[in-house]
């Protein structure tokens, strides 16, 4: 660790209450991008979804299964993510502009939690079913346990950043939540739910997933910049064996999400199936690997180029009413 130089993890040289002058401009940029996408679930009408959900045969059993599995996964994954920010990351990341972003992100996770309350209430779903799926559905449980395990060591009250090993533990946590949970697991779920929206089914939930996707793309851009900065300032922690461990975990995450997709879509719906999701996962995992300076593994083409278009749309524009000429590329969000 660089003990004598001002750096992100060297709290003794950083006053957490002195945000100006800003040292890490990227953290401030992500904060402003988050604010620019401000939204609340109640802005989105659910009447059409309620009608479709209740109309016999309109939403097929296979579509219902996919919707329920994703509501079950996301409803609890949002609070797992929020808990990690507030209880683990915030304590150890003392840089004030990063903390400002973490507070914004925590607020956005509260909005996402609210979104699932709103969806359950609107559709009249049984909360005891939805909110226990992370324990009762094996493919969801396996994903959550994998991420929670990656973050256990920094939740230990005695954990402190004192040496190279502790920096690796922190990086392991950040990869677990920002890259794997938000950057890989969430994206397959987004693709499934937004595929329904493209078929004019469950459009209110779909619109809320669009807003959430834009929030999450900023979360993981921040996470990747945080990881990249920690590595740049502490290169001794980014050893070949640690890099190999991280790559293996990302590959394992792709397999877990693929198993989940097979469970969500045992027969496929509306031209979407688990193998297309697998391709998207491989494409996405490669992008995440590259973003944190690791080699790609799969070199698979993107089967869903429409996903990147959604991220680039202005908040005010409805996806279906927007022409290609109105797309706006947010320079900082180099994710698709």
Among 219, 258, 288, 291, binds Fe ion (CB under 5 A): 219
For residue 288, the minimal CB distance to Fe ion (Å) is 14
- Spatial CB neighbours of 52, under 8 Å, sequence gap ≥ 6: 58, 59, 201, 202
Give the range of 133-141, 215-223, 294-302, 315-323 binding Fe ion by CB under 5 A.
Answer: 215-223
For residue 186, the minimal CB distance to Fe ion (Å) is 7
For residue 41, the minimal CB distance to Mn ion (Å) is 12
Residue 263, φ and ψ in degrees, nearest 5 = -70, -40
Give the range of 125-133, 149-157, 195-203, 210-218 binding Fe ion by CB under 5 A.
Answer: 210-218
Q: Which residues are catalytic?
A: 118
For residue 235, the minimal CB distance to Mn ion (Å) is 31
Quote the CA–CA distance of 256 and 103 in Å, as a whole number: 30
Quote the CA–CA distance of 230 and 222 in Å, as a whole number: 12
- Spatial CB neighbours of 213, under 8 Å, sequence gap ≥ 6: 186, 190, 194, 307, 310, 311
By CB under 5 A, the count of residues binding Fe ion is 3
Contact 276, 71 (CB under 8 A): no
Site for Fe ion in 112-171 (CB under 5 A): none
Give the range of 62-70, 112-120, 253-261, 321-329 binding Mn ion by CB under 5 A.
Answer: 112-120
Q: Which is nearer to Fe ion, 63 or 182 (CB)?
A: 182
Contact 332, 33 (CB under 8 A): yes
For residue 64, the minimal CB distance to Mn ion (Å) is 23
Of 239, 253, 262, the C-alpha closest to 286 is 253
Q: Does 112 bind Mn ion (CB under 5 A)?
A: yes
Q: Which is nearer to Fe ion, 109 or 207 (CB)?
A: 109
Site for Fe ion in 167-196 (CB under 5 A): 182
Q: Which is nearer to Fe ion, 182 or 207 (CB)?
A: 182
Give the range of 103-111, 131-139, 273-281, 326-334 binding Mn ion by CB under 5 A.
Answer: 103-111
Which residue bears the tokens 């693709």? 191
Of 252, 129, 126, 265, the C-alpha closest to 193 is 265
Which of the choices Fe ion, Mn ion, none does residue 225 contact, using the CB cut-off of 5 to 8 A by kind? none
Residue 70, φ and ψ in degrees, nearest 5 = -70, -40
Beta-sheet strands, E only, within 81-178: none
Q: Which is nearer to Mn ion, 52 or 208 (CB)?
A: 208
Quote the CA–CA distance of 152 and 201 in Å, as a whole number: 39
Residues lying near Fe ion in the complex (CB under 5 A) are found at 182, 216, 219
Residues lying near Mn ion in the complex (CB under 5 A) are found at 78, 109, 112
């Amino acid at each position: 660790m660089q003990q004598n130089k001002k750096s992100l993890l060297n709290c003794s040289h950083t006053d957490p209450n002195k945000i100006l002058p800003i040292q890490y401009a990227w953290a401030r940029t992500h904060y402003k991008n988050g604010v620019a996408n401000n939204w609340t679930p109640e802005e989105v009408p659910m009447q059409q979804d309620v009608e479709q959900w209740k109309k016999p045969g309109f939403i097929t059993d296979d579509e219902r299964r996919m919707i329920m599995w994703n509501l079950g996964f996301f409803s609890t994954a949002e609070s797992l993510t929020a808990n990690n920010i507030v209880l683990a990351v915030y304590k150890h990341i003392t840089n004030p502009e990063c903390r400002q972003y973490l507070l914004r992100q925590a607020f956005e996770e509260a909005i996402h939690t609210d979104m699932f309350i709103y969806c359950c209430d609107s559709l009249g779903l049984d909360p005891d079913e939805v909110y226990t799926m992370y324990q009762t559905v094996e493919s969801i449980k396996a994903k959550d346990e994998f991420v929670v395990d990656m973050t256990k060591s920094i939740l230990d009250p005695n954990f402190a950043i004192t040496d190279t090993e502790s920096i690796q533990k922190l990086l392991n946590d950040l990869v677990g939540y920002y890259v794997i949970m938000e950057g890989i697991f969430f994206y397959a779920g987004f693709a499934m739910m937004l595929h329904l929206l493209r078929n004019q089914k469950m459009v209110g939930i779909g619109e809320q997933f669009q807003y959430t996707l834009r929030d999450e793309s900023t979360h993981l851009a921040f996470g990747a910049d945080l990881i990249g900065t920690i590595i740049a300032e502490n290169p001794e922690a980014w050893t070949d064996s640690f890099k190999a461990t991280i790559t293996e975990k990302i590959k394992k995450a792709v397999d877990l999400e693929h198993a989940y997709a097979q469970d969500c879509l045992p027969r496929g719906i509306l031209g979407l199936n688990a193998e297309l999701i697998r391709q998207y996962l491989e494409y996405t995992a490669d992008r995440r690997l590259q973003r944190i300076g690791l080699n790609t593994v799969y070199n698979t083409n993107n089967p869903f180029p429409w996903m990147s278009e959604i991220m680039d749309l202005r908040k005010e524009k409805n996806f279906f009413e927007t022409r290609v000429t109105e797309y706006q590329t947010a320079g900082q969000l180099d994710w698709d």
